[in-house]
Structure 1
């Protein structure tokens, strides 16, 4: 669980830093400037209530929320954000289902394979000080030819496991025990490394090409990497796939939180971000607490992760681009289409919404010219 805790903290910090940056940009216009700009201008009666006819960027940002309204559009983004965080945590805590410890002992030589397990342990496995059988050593030779012959303890060449299917856990599947146990620790570190390395790159890409394309790309990569991690017989491929899953899941999650921030007004923003975090961090532990006693095994556990990841991809595909990003990159027509569609889903007055968007685009042009 340690790597899951680290990933959760890193993801939270990444989200906080991104949202803090956006909030700082919005706050750069002082209240005095906003009041001065807004004072001499009056709102035409055909515009939506709350629209402010000022050309400062802080006011333009608030006017976006006036046009969007609040309702189904923001709720869809909230659900997508909650789902993406839930799946991130499911992948981060996956070792609770696929990486649990498995009791093991040295595998007997071929000519001893027919012995019952307990008989083999009594004959060929050293007993430790606490009375338990050694998990990593065996006697050589297995039996004493005479009472004076001394037997040596030697490391296991292979292991047997107390499980009906060695593929149920990555520990038994790839022998991550004894002198190979460091590979288990390395796999947790590799997973954490994916979040650290690639999330900043995803943020830069999202600023240049848009939130939606990068979210869809990240979610698609996460899906295929999840399939690879659950189906590969190679430990090296598994490590690589887990690294990619970590990076893609974290990028998808961070960018969805940014979109939620950008489309939600100040009245609901804190509540929605709190809801997304609370639901995901409550649902995932409850789900795993229910599943662990059932011991679903590696195949079924990865199938669950793949289905959940596919649901994230499908929901992300149904969402539109962030209208705030579209306006900031001067994609006016696409911004108009997206914002009016959102306003319609939120049951806004469409005639006033169109008129308000035209006024908003004019104010944005004025703000751009005033900065030159």
Structure 2
């Protein structure tokens, strides 16, 4: 039987899927802590020059001590200079941070942002490295090795003796963690049949937002950055306890031509899911059409080579999904910085800023399940663009600023809604042989948005609302580009670039809106279309229940015993 039929026969939401989704969820919490923990561990507390108890300091217009200046002669108070003997820090609100430990203030205040940029650069580098390695050697090995190294480096950060060591370790952490986080995310989608991908595949996104909410509470309780950072390793340490149970990807094994290993892996999955009398062999290997499934020898040797991302038809997916990630990170961090300016307790503000993400992670699940990926994504991007135009137009003093604050929260809600659709489009459009390296490359390029966002907001001082103008243009362009992509609802994941070409020929949204038909003058395209349709028919038959065609020779006794019994009840109970 085909891979989706085999997964459905082995329980589409069995223990294997629960295990992989649990691993991806914990790692999503970890990545949220890794990226945004800098808000607390590198927060700059109130400070002033250390000049002794009986010496006065220059003050600002708000009657607050100057942070970086002291009087040359305290008696005359007519000339100031830079702090000469260090600083005094108010640790009541933020506690101990890397800023207070290493005096990252005044002429060194840029080092705080630099440390974050270097860490994000490590994440970007790790995304492409881990993608290439995972597509060549498999999802499981790189995940396990990366987790071990990550935990060692993470604990070491808490003992950093100086700023340079801290930055180097955080850079390495960024590289290594992508190797632990990205392959399980891909594996999760590869072990889900199409009808469950939108719901179950969004679990990591929900866990990301929940992780941020939990982190605000932990930061409130633990106001020592060293202890706090050590505690942030908890999710990956927990995952280490059961990561050994994670299977290899059956789809990846098939894409590499390792048919016997794929069959063994499929049998282990069925056994782990508690399925009895699972057919053996389960996968249709002996009669597989060479043109349909056999990977080219050159492709096997190179694994998921990055150069293959720039060959049609994968080139279109690479460019468009990369722009989608740039748009998402640019707008997300733009709104995150805006909501962070709310007055009040910083820990509560961070919690509320994270809370608004939660419904945005959940709502798209049901929308995508009904309407597919592209129409909701385009609608969300256009809506966020309109919201940002409103932010530009509305004066700051309307309703004491609450209207703009509300629009900013709404804008963040909308862009977070886009995450599920963008992520699903990535996993369902890249061919199996290029899926991990493709997602890694797209997210690598997407880091450009997160790096540019604070720079654009800074430039608002010179060109008012420049950041929102660029964010708006980016969102509208992304919506236009999506018209070129194929809709993936009720389709099978492409295993090869040829399968992807079929999707472009038959499912492209722009062509469907124009009500045009795909060309049939090319014999090879017509033949491949027939094969893809056959896969889809088998998938649809499997959705309705096992039958003689999808079981590849399984007799009625097996069908009646397993297809309508325990498995059917399990599947019905787990519908979302």
Q: Is the TM value for this pair above 0.5?
A: yes
Name the CA distance, whole Å, in 2 between partners of 1:62 and 1:203.
23
Q: CA deviation at 1:186?
A: 0.6
Are 2:75 and 1:153 equivalent residues in the alignment? no
Q: CA deviation at 1:219?
A: 1.8
User: 1:353 maps to what in 2?
Assistant: 279
Query: Could you report, residue by residue, the CA deviation over 1:342-366 in whole angstroms, capped at 9, with x for unpaired residues?
Result: 101222233x422424xx2213475
Change (3 A) 1:353 1:276: farther
Name the CA distance, whole Å, in 2 between partners of 1:96 and 1:284.
14
Change (3 A) 1:282 1:370: closer
User: 1:4 maps to what in 2?
Assistant: none
User: 1:222 maps to what in 2?
Assistant: 150
User: 2:174 maps to what in 1?
Assistant: 246
Task: Work out which of the residue numbers 205, 218, 225 in structure 1 matches 2:133.
Answer: 205
User: 1:135 maps to what in 2?
Assistant: 67
Name the CA distance, whole Å, in 2 between partners of 1:178 and 1:369.
61
Query: Could you report, residue by residue, the CA deviation over 1:151-204 in whole angstroms, capped at 9, with x for unpaired residues?
Result: 420101311212389982011011111111010111121122112222111111
Query: Could you say what secondary structure the match of 1:183 adopts?
Result: helix
Name the CA distance, whole Å, in 2 between partners of 1:364 and 1:197.
38
Change (3 A) 1:368 1:288: closer
Q: In structure 1, list runs of 5 or more residues that go unmatched.
A: 1-50, 52-59, 145-149
Name the CA distance, whole Å, in 2 between partners of 1:276 and 1:326.
24
Contact in 2 for aligned 1:194/1:243 (Cα 8 Å): yes
Change (3 A) 1:63 1:267: same
Q: CA deviation at 1:317?
A: 2.8
Name the CA distance, whole Å, in 2 between partners of 1:231 and 1:364.
56
Are 2:264 and 1:323 equivalent residues in the alignment? no
Task: Work out which of the residue numbers 100, 104, 110 in structure 1 matches 2:47.
Answer: 104
Are 2:69 and 1:69 equivalent residues in the alignment? no
Task: Work out which of the residue numbers 286, 290, 309 in structure 1 matches 2:213.
Answer: 286
Task: Work out which of the residue numbers 98, 104, 123 in structure 2 matches 1:195.
Answer: 123
Q: CA deviation at 1:99?
A: 1.8
User: 1:334 maps to what in 2?
Assistant: 261
Q: CA deviation at 1:368?
A: 7.0
Name the CA distance, whole Å, in 2 between partners of 1:256 and 1:185.
30
Contact in 2 for aligned 1:73/1:342 (Cα 8 Å): yes
Name the CA distance, whole Å, in 2 between partners of 1:73 and 1:173.
45
Name the CA distance, whole Å, in 2 between partners of 1:151 and 1:353.
90
Give the TM-score, by structure 2 length.
0.48
Name the CA distance, whole Å, in 2 between partners of 1:282 and 1:270.
17
Deviating above 4 A after TM superposition, structure 1's stretches of 4 or more consecutive aligned residues are: 164-167, 365-372
Contact in 2 for aligned 1:232/1:238 (Cα 8 Å): yes
Name the stretch that deviates more: 216-225 or 226-235.
Answer: 216-225
Query: Could you say what secondary structure the match of 1:187 adopts?
Result: helix
Change (3 A) 1:314 1:97: farther
Name the stretch that deviates more: 286-295 or 196-205.
Answer: 286-295
User: 1:260 maps to what in 2?
Assistant: 188
Give the TM-score, by structure 1 length.
0.72
Change (3 A) 1:369 1:273: closer
Q: Which protein shows a greater Rg?
A: 1
Query: Could you say what secondary structure the match of 2:158 adopts?
Result: helix
Q: In structure 2, list runs of 5 or more residues that go unmatched.
A: 297-576
Change (3 A) 1:130 1:369: closer
Contact in 2 for aligned 1:139/1:151 (Cα 8 Å): yes
User: 1:175 maps to what in 2?
Assistant: 103
Query: Could you say what secondary structure the match of 1:201 adopts?
Result: helix
Q: What is the total number of aligned residue pairs between the two structures?
A: 294
User: 1:56 maps to what in 2?
Assistant: none
Q: CA deviation at 1:89?
A: 0.4
RMSD: 2.6
Query: Could you say what secondary structure the match of 1:353 adopts?
Result: coil
Contact in 2 for aligned 1:167/1:173 (Cα 8 Å): no
Q: CA deviation at 1:236?
A: 0.9
Query: Could you say what secondary structure the match of 1:363 adopts?
Result: coil
Query: Could you report, residue by residue, the CA deviation over 1:22-42 in whole angstroms, capped at 9, with x for unpaired residues?
Result: xxxxxxxxxxxxxxxxxxxxx
Task: Work out which of the residue numbers 27, 30, 36 in structure 2 matches 1:93.
Answer: 36
